[in-house]
C-alpha cells in the first residue's frame, strides 16, 4: 500500500515530517522512509495512525 499522497497532504497541512511523527506516534525515521519510497508497503497500523493524525481517510492517503 503505497502512500503516494503523504508528502502532498502533509505539506498542505503545513506540517513538518517531525510534526507528523509526533502526532501519529510513528518514528521520524519511518515517516522519512515512507515519503522517500524506502518503505513501499508500510504496515496497516502505520497507515491508520498516519491517516488519523492527518484527519483523512486511508483512501485519500493511498490514492
Could you tell me the three cell numbers for 27? 518514528
The confidence score (pLDDT) of residue 4 equals: 77
Give the pLDDT band (50/70/90) at residue 53: very high
The confidence score (pLDDT) of residue 6 equals: 93
Q: Which domains does the chain have, with CATH numbers?
A: 6-62 (1.10.260.40)
The model's pLDDT over 14-50, given as tens digits with 9 standing for 90+, comes to: 999 999 999 999 999 999 999 999 998 999 999 999 9
Amino acid at each position: 500500500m503505497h502512500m503516494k499522497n503523504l508528502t502532498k497532504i502533509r505539506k498542505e497541512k503545513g506540517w513538518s515530517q517531525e510534526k507528523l511523527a509526533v502526532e501519529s506516534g510513528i518514528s521520524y525515521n519511518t515517516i522519512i522512509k515512507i515519503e522517500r519510497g524506502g518503505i513501499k508497503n508500510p504496515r496497516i497500523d502505520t497507515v491508520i495512525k498516519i491517516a488519523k493524525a492527518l484527519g483523512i481517510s486511508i483512501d485519500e492517503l493511498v490514492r
